[in-house]
Chains A and B, each alone.
Chain A
Amino acid sequence: MRKIDTNDMLLQVTTKITAFIILLFSLHLFLAGHNNPGGGFIGGLMSAGAVVLLLLAYDLKTVRRILPFNFIYVAATGLLVAILTGMGSFLFGAPFLSHAFDYFQLPFLGKTELATAVLFDIGVYLVVVGITMTIIQTIGEKE
């Protein structure tokens, strides 16, 4: 991203609002994935889209300050989560990646379904965010 000399106030202000909406939408897509269209993959892409918008409106350094992650680590964490979820089924003597679910009474949400498949989806989500940002940042930084 080249340094922009012109004043991008309009872009930056709208971005501040829009980015949050996109992030919320991506969270929705991610959580809704089990029952409605969506899921870890598209959710991750959407989140990355929000960060890309920030990158366009501001510059690489600012975004680095706001989100001080090394995105390769994010991708690695995602892979680790996915694999550990799969291996978790060994604890119960089940084959690799056997998922389980149950319904719980939670303090604020009431009766909620919790499934280990969501843990796996978190892994997918993190990997997708991590790799998208890695690719974009790497290419953007290069000159």
Chain B
Amino acid sequence: MSLLHLAIISPFLFAIFVPFVFKYFRQLHTGWFVLILPVLLFIYFFSFISITSAEETVTKTISWIPSLGIDFTVKVDGLALLFALLITGIGSLVVLYSVYYLQKDKEQLNNFYVYLLLFMGAMLGVVLSDNLIVLYTFWEFTSFSSFLLIGYWYKREKSRYGAQKSMLITVFGGLSMLGGIILLYLMTGTFSMAEIIQQTNGIITHHLFIPAMLCILLGALTKSAQFPFHIWLPDAMEAPTPVSAYLHSATMVKAGIYLVARMSPVFAETALWVWLVAGFGIITLFWGSFSAVKQTDLKGILAFSTISQLGMIMTLLGIGGAALHFDSVKDSYYTVATVAAVFHLINHATFKGALFMVVGIVDHETGTRDIRKLGGLMPFMPITFTVAIIGTFSMAGLPPFNGFLSKEMFFTAMVRVLNMDILNMETIGILFPVIAWIASIFTFVYSMIIVFKTFTGKLQPEKLKKKPHEAPIGMLISPIVLASLVLAIGFFPNVLANTIIAPAVAAIMPDFTVDVHISFWHGFTPELLMTFGVIAIGFLLYKTYPKWRAVYKIFPEKLSLNHLYDDALTNTERGSRRLTNSILTGSSRTYLLYLFVFFIIMLGSTLFIKDAFTFNTSNISSIHIAEVILAVGICIVAISILFVKSRLTSIILLGAVGYSVSLFFVIYRAPDLALTQLVIETISVALFLLCFYHLPKLKKREERISFKLTNALISVGVGAIVILIGLSAHSNKLFESISHYYIENTYKEAAGKNMVNVILVDFRGLDTMFEITVLAIAAIGIFGLIKLRQQGGKKTENK
């Protein structure tokens, strides 16, 4: 176990101690204890920067299930390190923020921090694992720790609804991803990501390649809340705000992004991948930003904004994948998209984390998140306002913040799509820059709504639950740190360029040499003009928002994806209940019907398909007159059982059948069987008579068996099938009987002349032993049924 493994497992180990700390150190907020870990981890991962920026990787392995090729392999490269730093860095800030956000007396802090630590460990595992099965394990761990965190206030119905929704959707994707992983294993014979990437050229024409790609992509799309699976994210906003800031903006929703980036070297050489990733991304980008504008809840806006920004990163990764398509275009012309994706990933984590914390502060200090009730908070909360300005302007893509830089690069990449002469991009590709531009306008609009509707305008004190005032300093530290990062990255982007972005891009595109240089000023390029357009039209739209708000009402609620999801859920439940009720009627007649129909269909069709029915008369012995008489007699008796009116008659007729069978045994020279059959038949007839005697007098009607055509058909069918199988089996004796051995050895080996008895007690004595056990159990059962039924009532009465 190396230090790296320990780093991944340490949150899980730490989580064990959290409840003890919570219970025995009540005066200390548990968060302070938890805070130690992410800070230490952040420092530890920071020390890897010198290694990864030299384009080297660190790999450590401990074996877990070596016989299945599943090893806990940890690999640190540029991409993994970027995510690990985000997870631990923002993790530390979120824990610090939560110390002030959650009150130690009113909340179940032990639950909160255990879930949070589980999530942190799982997320580190996802980004650092090289083995796909280990990655999948941690992946599901993130799903259900997120489920626990969303449902943290489990007494609220909405929390439970959101938790269930996110669980169903992400686990659906996770399972499909597992399918994809298994398909990859079938193609390459390994679970190791590094080895799969090496084999890419060999598997690209494999017939499982496309299914594997689709399965894995489904996992990534659901986790990263891409259209149409984005619906869980807005409902996940019922979680405490630190959770929303951490999971649903900076880390978990980026797990899908990570997976797409990680898998790009494997899949991106196919056009389908580029189209799917970029296509879903651009739709999500537009739909997220379009929907964000109509929200009235601040966290709702941020949720849709996250969806849209994730779509943007996804688009960039898809377009960046196009660079892998042809080996001839290995220049930085197309790789700019990947660089932009990584850069925006970092930027989004910083400003979105800050914005969530700002919203949390507003909620905490005023008691509401509804923008219709908020307004005019600027004089009361100057620091929060400043942070909000920085965050939203960066999100909208305004200079001099970091969002401006990544948005410029995004536009650059989109414009270059037009020049791609591959993958049919030159025709439909025009849609990419157009949609991206429109989406950016909406992004601008909702960014302005967040900051100006909340902080400017008139204060409405009568609508607020509390008198607004500035948040405590501890709560402000984390958003201030993030906002400073937004500024710092905005002004000095190249500090990041060679240390973090370049290694990450190198990990996504292993064969490329990418020169990452982020410049503030490109000259008068189309992208700059696009940004001016965004600002101008965005400002206009923001000002006239009340006039065109009615647009959102055109789209009916009934067709929304949420409605679709709810309908699907209720209809599935209703449908399966209806199905169950219609099949499982509770009547054993119906079940017998199923059994027999199944019997007829399966055996009949097998006989028919295999053409198995044969009839061979060569080994049939001659028929004796006594057998004919007996057979006719037994048939008459058996058939008349069906038509007699009285039950007593049918019992006696059944006895007649039994005695005729014993006569058959006599004819076929089986004395032991005949003797036993006689005695047993007598006993069972006596027992039948006993049952008959005790039938209840009420409702006892002597009736003929009513005739039902289906029953008649089925019984005739079963009989016919059994006869056919018997005849066929008899006609095909595959090998000689083993009875010669018994005939020869009964006396020699076992000193008996009665072969039946010798077989029963000597050759096959074990069967007999268990048959007498069966008899004993039956006797005890009868004894227990009768005695305990009589005594059971008395005993309970006595007690």
Contact = CB atoms under 8 A, between A and B. Distances in A.
Interface of A: 29, 32-42, 45-46, 49, 72, 75-76, 78-79, 82-83, 86, 96-97, 99, 101, 113, 115, 117, 120-121, 123-124, 127-128, 130-132, 134-135, 138-139, 141-142
A138 B769 CA distance: 24
Contacts, number: 123
B762 A38 contact: no
B16 interface: no
B399 interface: no
Given A76-B776, A142-B786, A38 B754 contact: yes
B757 interface: yes
Interface stretch (B357-365, B672-680, B724-732): B672-680
12 contacts: A36-B753, A41-B760, A42-B679, A45-B679, A49-B679, A75-B775, A79-B776, A83-B769, A86-B769, A117-B765, A120-B765, A138-B787
Contacts of A130: 776, 779
B471 to A, nearest CB: 80
B752 A35 contact: yes
A115 B779 contact: no
Contacts of A29: 675
Given A115-B752, A131-B778, A34 B672 contact: no
B761 A131 contact: no
B792 to A, nearest CB: 14
With most chain B CB atoms within 10 A of its CB, the pick from A38, A130, A131, A139 is A131
Interface in B624-639: none
Contact of B758 (A34, A76, A86, A131): A34
Interface of B: 671-672, 675-676, 679-680, 683, 687, 690, 750-754, 756-758, 760-762, 765-766, 768-769, 772-773, 775-776, 778-780, 782-783, 786-787, 790
Contacts of B782: 134-135, 138-139
Given A38-B754, A83-B769, A131-B775, A72 B783 contact: yes
A33 B676 CA distance: 13
A86 B765 contact: yes
A61 to B, nearest CB: 18
B452 to A, nearest CB: 88
A142 B790 CA distance: 8
10 A-B pairs closest in CB distance: A131-B779, A37-B671, A35-B753, A34-B752, A127-B772, A101-B751, A39-B757, A134-B779, A97-B765, A45-B679
Contacts of A45: 676, 679-680, 683
Contact of A139 (B672, B778, B786): B786
A42 B752 contact: no
Nearest to B790: A142
Nearest to B674: A37
Contacts of B762: 99, 117
Given A97-B766, A128-B772, A121 B761 contact: yes
B786 A138 contact: yes
Given A72-B779, A99-B765, A78 B754 contact: no
Contacts of B780: 72, 134
A117 B761 contact: yes
A39 to B, nearest CB: 4
Given A40-B761, A42-B672, A124-B761, 4 more contacts: A32-B754, A120-B765, A128-B772, A135-B778
A34 B753 contact: yes
B769 A97 contact: yes
Given A101-B751, A115-B752, A139-B690, A34 B776 contact: no
Contacts of A86: 765-766, 769
For the residues of B in contact with A, the DSSP-based class is: helix
Contacts of B672: 37-39, 42
Nearest to A85: B765
For the residues of A in contact with B, the DSSP-based class is: helix
A108 to B, nearest CB: 21
B772 A37 contact: no
With most chain B CB atoms within 10 A of its CB, the pick from A40, A42, A82, A120 is A42
A76 B761 CA distance: 18
A78 B495 CA distance: 90
Contact of B754 (A39, A72, A127, A138): A39
Contacts of A127: 772, 775-776
A35 B3 CA distance: 79
Contacts of B683: 45, 132
A60 B494 CA distance: 105
Contacts of B754: 32-39
B783 A117 contact: no
A37 B675 contact: yes
A109 B457 CA distance: 122
Contacts of B772: 78-79, 82, 123-124, 127-128
A120 B761 contact: yes
Nearest to A137: B783
Contacts of B779: 72, 75, 130-131, 134-135
B766 A96 contact: yes
A143 to B, nearest CB: 9
Given A33-B754, A76-B776, A99-B762, A38 B768 contact: no
A21 to B, nearest CB: 16
A124 to B, nearest CB: 6
With most chain A CB atoms within 10 A of its CB, the pick from B671, B772, B787 is B772
A38 B679 contact: no
A77 B226 CA distance: 73
B115 to A, nearest CB: 56
A114 to B, nearest CB: 9
A29 to B, nearest CB: 8
A142 B694 CA distance: 12
Contacts of B769: 82-83, 86, 97, 120
A133 B758 CA distance: 26
Contacts of B765: 86, 97, 99, 117, 120
A115 B679 contact: no
Nearest to A119: B761
Given A38-B675, A45-B676, A134 B783 contact: yes
A106 to B, nearest CB: 16
B761 A46 contact: no
A34 B675 CA distance: 15
A124 B752 CA distance: 17
A34 B679 contact: no
B752 A117 contact: yes
A58 B668 CA distance: 39
Contacts of A41: 676, 760
B687 to A, nearest CB: 8
A77 B202 CA distance: 71
Nearest to A33: B757
Contacts of A34: 751-754, 757-758
Given A36-B754, A39-B672, A79-B773, A138 B783 contact: yes
